[in-house]
Structure 1
Amino acid sequence: MTLLYLEDLEPGQRFPGTTRIRIEESRVTAFAAEFDPQPFHLDERSARASIFRGLAASGWHTAAVTMRLLVDSEFKPAGGIVGAGVDELRWPRPVRPGDELRVESEVLEVRPSKSRPEQGLVKVCTTTFNQDDEVVQTSVSNLVVLRRTKPA
């Protein structure tokens, strides 16, 4: 595992995911029951009558799975994946039981911190795909990344 310091990152770099996670129906309904208890996340019959036309994972479930996949990916910023905020989060299509998700991240921007010379901010677009390479989530996040050395 090679840690990536701020100086190692530049716009356009891509980091593929190294694992996939299969979305099980029992996990969809368990997550929804605890965190997003809407009928289209809990019950197939209710879900068929909804805009989803079938059981769909909560977007927040997709976001949580994406985080796990991101941690397991080749993107290893020094200091960990420490979020400073999310500029954009989109779910263009539902995640269904049986889907297998994977991620890919792209560095959009790198900038040293003016107030904290030991770190900087990296803007990253993370895209989550299903097994058919359809996009199920995109996010643009700002991450705190350590610098290898403090500037003089």
Structure 2
Amino acid sequence: MKFHDFSPDQTLTLGPVSLSEAEIINFARLWDPQPFHTDPEWATKSRWKGLIASGWQTCALTMRTVCEGPLLDSGSIGSPGLEYLKWTAPVRPDDALTITLDVLGTGVSSSGKVGKLRWQWRVHNQDRVLVLDTIATSLFDLDLP
């Protein structure tokens, strides 16, 4: 999608996508080596009652899915950041995650060269439980074809 394809009150739905037990463990060993992410046996005895994905991995999976979807060939040039980020429930191996993107607003810089998109990203599992919630701002180069 290009910047001009986004409009306030627009909703996009992506997925489902999932993470296997091996993907969860491999990611966590590299980036978030806490035992409830890396050791299925230990995790079973934890408050989580089983292995869960790192919240950072849930973010990475969501970002990849958005990049392969609406941001693909969009002219996206990054983001100045998130308003907030909440992990509201754990992601477990093979959960079917659906990503809902709600466009909250769009605008153009005073130079007319950069588009600004403010949107809420919400991820739900197969039981419709919210597992991730954030509001992001994305920037777009309006001079790109």
Per the normalisation by structure 1, the TM-score is 0.83
Does residue 1:129 correspond to 2:128, yes or no? no
Aligned with 2:133: secondary structure? strand
User: C-alpha deviations, 1:109-152, integer Å up to 9, x for none?
Assistant: 212213x4211211111111212222111111110023379xxx
Corresponding residue number in structure 2 for 1:94: 90
**What is the letter of the counterpart of residue 125 of structure 2?**
N
**Matched residue, 1:120:** 115
**Residue segments in structure 2 that go unaligned for 5+ positions in a row:** none
Partner in structure 2 of residue 39 of structure 1: 35
1:9-20 correspondence runs (5 A): 9-17=6-14, 19-20=15-16
Task: Let me know the Cα RMSD of the aligned residues.
Answer: 2.1
Aligned length in residues: 144
**1:60 corresponds to which residue?**
56
Aligned to 1:4: 2
Change in 2 beyond 3 A, CA 1:70/1:106: same
Could you list the runs of 5+ residues in structure 1 that have no partner in the other structure? none
* Separation in structure 1 between the aligned mates of residue 100 and residue 72 of structure 2, nearest angstrom: 13
Alignment check: 8 A CA contact 1:14 1:105 kept? yes
**1:35-73 deviation per Cα after TM superposition (whole angstroms, max 9, x unaligned):** 000011111222123232211100011011111221233
- Maintained 8 Å contact 1:16/1:74: no
Q: Which of these residues, 68, 73, 89, is aligned with residue 72 of structure 1?
A: 68
Tell me, yes or no, if the aligned pair for 1:75 and 1:105 is still in contact at 8 Å. no
Identity percentage over the alignment? 31
